[in-house]
Amino acid sequence: MDAASQQKILGYFIEEAKEHLETLEQGILELSEVVDDTERVNELFRAAHSVKGGAAMLGYTSIQKTAHRLEDAFKVFKDNTITVDETLKSLFLNAYDVLQELLEKLQSPFGLQEEEIEKIMGEADPQFSELQKYLDRLAVSDNRDPVVSPEVSPPPATPAPSRSPAAMGLPFGQQVRELLQQMLGLFRQDATPECRQQLQKLCIELAKLNKKVKSWQQLLKASHKAIANPAHRFSTLAPIVLKSIKEAADHLERNEPERISLPTDLKNLAIAQLPYILIPTEPKEAAQILNSAFSEAQLAQLVQALKHRA
């Protein structure tokens, strides 16, 4: 997969993450009211969960870990009765600032640098520990097990890499992220028949994760068919296929199967007989893609067609 396609996938993630950040910030600012509204608590939980999933798929461990910690913190509201005070709200805002800073660094011209990650995460660790400890003190037992801080919880056993996510018994969302990470790795390789076959197998594995939802099955079938077409470049396939599957999986995790639909771009890839390319609106980028996709004769025909249309 070329740099332009990788940048496009990153752009999708950042765009979606910004929306979730707005949800998180607003929810934290109104935390006193949110804790009494189950749906809004779930909304905060889902926002953190979605950022975690997207970061995990793209390999941004620091963002994944930070979103996961926020997700764990919001989960306490689902399991306990918490009285919100200004200290708790301030601790949550500090945690939110960590996630926001990481995402801002990621979309900066130089990206998220290793030195910056170490500095940000090093400063964040005591903040998240303080947040979790304060939540533990505020939690009121409701005949449930005591809240346990993630920092002191025993780490889950690492499954053998030779086993599939489904065989490891992982939750649906984690299985999807594991398989999407494998797809991303294959899309970054040359578009050989072997790579296409492996990608198609991953589509089948993903389809098996939920055999009851017809729209999920149709989306994976379209992905399988699009990947099989040797006319389609990986740089074209990757942004559309990965984004479509991730969004559909998010709907399934939220128990919203009715919101899954087959995106037009993916449908076109599945039925197209000729090569299918995506053209950005920025003229220079569009020109680069057209130059790489068409011969001089084809470009001349395209220019004439555009002149005729004008």
Task: Mention every residue, 6+ apart, whose C-beta is less than 8 A from residue 149.
Answer: 129, 132, 133, 136
Enter the tokens of residue 81.
């009765």
Q: How far apart are CA 31 and CA 89, in angstroms?
A: 7
Domain boundaries, the chain: 3-138, 172-271, 279-310
**Which parts of the chain have pLDDT scores under 70?**
1-3, 140-169, 273-295, 298-299, 302, 305-310
- pLDDT computed for residue 151 by the predictor: 43
Fold of 3-138: Four Helix Bundle (Hemerythrin (Met), subunit A) (1.20.120)
pLDDT of residue 131: 93
CA–CA distances in Å: residue 295 to residues 260, 282, 292, 300: 38, 21, 8, 9
- The tally of CA atoms less than 13 A away on the side-chain side of residue 300 is 3
Q: Find, among 172, 159, 166, 272, the residue nearest to 216 by Cα.
A: 172
Task: Report the pLDDT value the prediction gives residue 154, as an integer from 0 to 100.
Answer: 39
pTM assigned to the model: 0.59
Neighbours of 271 (CB within 10 A): 12
Q: How far apart are the first and last CA of the chain?
A: 34
* Count of beta carbons in the 10 Å neighbourhood of residue 222: 21
